[in-house]
A = this chain, B = another copy of it.
Amino acid sequence: MRTYTAPVKDAQFVLHDVLDIAGSGIPGYADLDHDFTEAVLDAAGKVASEILAPLNASGDAEGCQLDNGVVRTPKGFKVAFEALKEGGWNGLDLPEQYGGQGLPYLVGTAVAEFFVSANMAFNMYQGLTHGAIGALLAHGSPAQKATYVPKMLSLAWTGTMNLTEPHCGTDLGLMRTRAEPQEDGSYLITGQKIFISAGEHDLAENIIHMVLAKAPGGGEGTRGISLFIVPKFLVNADGSLGARNAVSCGKVEEKMGIHGNSTCLMNYDGATGCLIGDLHKGMRAMFTMMNEARLGVGLQGYAVAEPAYQGALAYAKDRLQGRAVTGDANPAGPADPLIVHPDIRRNLMEQKSFIEGARAFTYWAASLIDRSRRMGDEAAEGLVSLMIPVLKGFQTDKGFEAAVNAQQIYGGHGYIEETGASQFVRDARIAMIYEGANGVQALDLVGRKMTQDGGKHVMAFFDLVKGFIRENEGDAGLKAQFLDPLKAASKDLQAAAMFFAQQGAKNPDAALAGAYDFMHLFGHVCLGLMWARMAKAAQAALAAGAADGEFYEAKLATGRFYMARQLPATALHLARILTGADPVMALGADAF
């Protein structure tokens, strides 16, 4: 039950049938025809299932060990990391001038799903590096890019992000790490950072830390923060490695999951760093990449649920227990397979309809990021910025729920580490926390994104939903089972947004008390829209006489489940939101 098969066909369905990427007019997308993306996805799927997935359980069991300052990753990780390097996977969607293949971000996203599904902890070594490269490309000087990007792109060196300190996570204004300017223009960095993923390990020659610290003169709070490049080994002018820098790993955390990734406490003891981007604009520099980083975590939400689902499905088909109430399904056997039981089916459908909906939502968001980057499309940028906290918060909550559901299918066997179901639950849990805990996503959505640019992005979202419904109203196959539920859900979302607008500044607690429900309400509408679009695409394929009719019929059945059984949650979220702040805030902090 531990095998993983990359869902290439499902991915292809979203890319081509739903998003029609090759015809989208986004620069670089014209080359992404069906055969091309299939070749990329097949190759990535092979790496995922043959190289990464076999190390997932062993990496979890073994974990990372700190020994005299050196962190040993689990057995097999080095060899697998070499395979990633050789395949050039990290450079897939990075610029050709630094050795990458220059493909759109969307393609990198689709590949990342498979890698995360196969081995989430392992994939973080690459994922963090990819994120650090993004910051370098956006803010680095030409010399910094030339020095660091090619080495990191090839994974000879890896990267990290250093924000959190023991006493501050979300509230970075409390940061204590200091940067002292030196005469040569460099800085000496002193302080302690915690929860640094891939902070120290044995997979690469060098580790490039992107570190937020306070340099003198910037003022209080987050204003004084700057971003610094702090390599583990200093880099000589010719690019060769120099002296060991004064940065060290003080502890590898024992965590609930993602054991294969080394989560480090990092001590900076006057380590040499160089400023990247503008002085005192470190927060802005770090958060330039926020949409991508949060999309990456939202992707983990459903990507880790996928192998959990695959395992549970195989178990449900294989395990004989009880008889179908409507008559024996396996009369020759001692019992029927679990999958005959309606409650098992309900459980599986909840997982399946979430995962496929989330995949479509994630790909769509990634395509909007490409549209924004490659075409300078500000509307796309605004829309995706609005949806990112939804994608991150909703998908990681629901992905965890799906992994818990998958574990439940196994009964007692799911609680035993042997079957692997527990690991997916434990791994999935972190995605709800890091890269901005989901409560912070809800706050970002309601407190910031909803009102950004005068609220025009949320209006654009509503227009988009309305437009889709209007365009397809004449389609009897979509009307009652897809468009009507979507319209009702979208109305709930609008009513909630209206309530927040009315409460507004005079009662900010009312919006904040409903923020979490709003994030989920929004998430359901997004997945409802995705399922309506997928249903339209599936119908079109069936009407065109597609060879694999069963595949498209399954999409329709799965979509109908989502619309009928999951989307009605919007009414509950609205009801909660409309109760305002009182039920939540009435009990004083001291009365708890």
Interface residues of A (CB under 8 A from B): 164, 167-171, 173-174, 194-195, 253-257, 313, 317, 320-322, 325-326, 329, 334-335, 337, 339-349, 352, 400, 404, 407-408, 411-412, 414-418, 422, 425-426, 429-430, 432-434, 437-439, 442-443, 447, 508-509, 512-513, 515-516, 550, 553-554, 557-558, 560-561, 564-565, 568-569, 571-572, 575-576, 579, 581-587, 589, 591-592
- CB-CB under 8 A from A433, the residues of chain B are 408, 411-412, 414-415
**If the complex has contacts A438-B408, A592-B313, are A345 and B508 also in contact, measured as CB distance less than 8 A?**
no
A411 touches B169 (CB 8 A): yes
**If the complex has contacts A313-B592, A322-B171, A433-B411, are A584 and B256 also in contact, measured as CB distance less than 8 A?**
no
Per the bound structure, the CA–CA distance linking A40 and B586 in Å amounts to 33
- CB-CB under 8 A from A569, the residues of chain B are 572
**If the complex has contacts A255-B415, A343-B515, A443-B343, are A561 and B575 also in contact, measured as CB distance less than 8 A?**
no
Give A578 Cβ to nearest chain B Cβ, in Å: 10
Which one of B320, B429, B582, B587 contacts A425 once the chains associate, using CB atoms below 8 Å? B429
Closest residue of B by beta carbon distance from A429: B415
- CB-CB under 8 A from A170, the residues of chain B are 321-322, 411
**If the complex has contacts A340-B589, A342-B512, A512-B343, are A195 and B412 also in contact, measured as CB distance less than 8 A?**
yes
A416 touches B254 (CB 8 A): yes
A342 touches B589 (CB 8 A): no
B585 touches A345 (CB 8 A): yes
Which one of B168, B313, B344, B400 contacts A439 once the chains associate, using CB atoms below 8 Å? B344
Closest residue of B by beta carbon distance from A510: B342
Which one of B337, B447, B591 contacts A553 once the chains associate, using CB atoms below 8 Å? B591
- CB-CB under 8 A from A253, the residues of chain B are 416, 418
Which one of B174, B343, B425 contacts A513 once the chains associate, using CB atoms below 8 Å? B343
- CB-CB under 8 A from A321, the residues of chain B are 168-171, 174
- CB-CB under 8 A from A430, the residues of chain B are 415
Give A320 Cβ to nearest chain B Cβ, in Å: 8
B422 touches A349 (CB 8 A): no
